[in-house]
C-alpha cells in the first residue's frame, strides 16, 4: 500500500491514526535496507529491493528460490557483461 492509499484510508476512516502511522513508518525503510513481513495472504513480503512494491512469495516459493541461489549467482557472473545493475536508484551497465 502506498503513502497516498494509506492517507486516503485514514481520511475515509477505514483505518485509525495508529495503524496509518505504523503503515507510513513501514514506507520509510532506509534505501538498501531489507526486511520481511507476513502479507495479508500469509506469504512472505521482502521490502527494500524495489522502492515501490515488495517482492512477495509464499514460504515454499522462497525456499525454492533460496535453494537455487548458487545457480542464480553463477548465471549473473557468467552474463555480467549482458546485464544492467541498479545502484542508488539508477540502472547502470
The whole-model pTM stands at: 0.60
What is the reported pLDDT for 18?
87
Alpha carbon distances (Å) from 46 to 7, 63, 79: 23, 13, 25
Q: Give per-residue pLDDT as tens, 40-54.
A: 999 999 988 876 789
Paired sense of beta strands 90-92 and 85-87, if any: antiparallel
Q: Give per-residue pLDDT as tens, 36-91.
A: 999 999 999 998 887 678 999 999 999 999 999 999 999 999 999 999 987 655 56
Q: Take residue 91 and report the three cell numbers written for it.
A: 540502472
What is the reported pLDDT for 53?
85
Q: Give per-residue pLDDT as tens, 2-13.
A: 888 888 988 999
Q: Please tell me the distance from the alpha carbon of residue 57 to that of residue 53, in angstroms, as a whole number.
A: 13
Confidence check: pLDDT of 25 > 80: no
Nearest to 84 by CA among 44, 76, 20, 70: 76
H/E segment holding residue 18: helix 17-27
Amino acid at each position: 500500500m502506498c503513502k497516498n492509499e494509506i492517507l486516503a484510508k485514514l481520511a475515509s476512516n477505514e483505518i485509525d491514526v495508529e495503524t496509518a502511522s505504523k503503515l507510513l513508518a513501514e514506507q520509510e525503510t532506509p534505501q538498501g535496507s531489507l526486511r520481511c513481513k507476513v502479507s495479508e495472504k500469509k506469504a512472505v513480503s521482502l521490502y527494500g529491493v524495489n522502492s515501490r512494491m515488495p517482492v512477495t512469495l509464499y514460504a515454499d516459493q522462497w525456499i525454492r528460490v533460496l535453494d537455487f541461489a548458487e545457480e542464480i549467482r553463477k548465471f549473473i557472473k557468467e552474463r555480467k557483461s549482458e546485464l544492467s545493475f541498479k545502484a542508488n536508484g539508477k540502472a547502470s551497465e
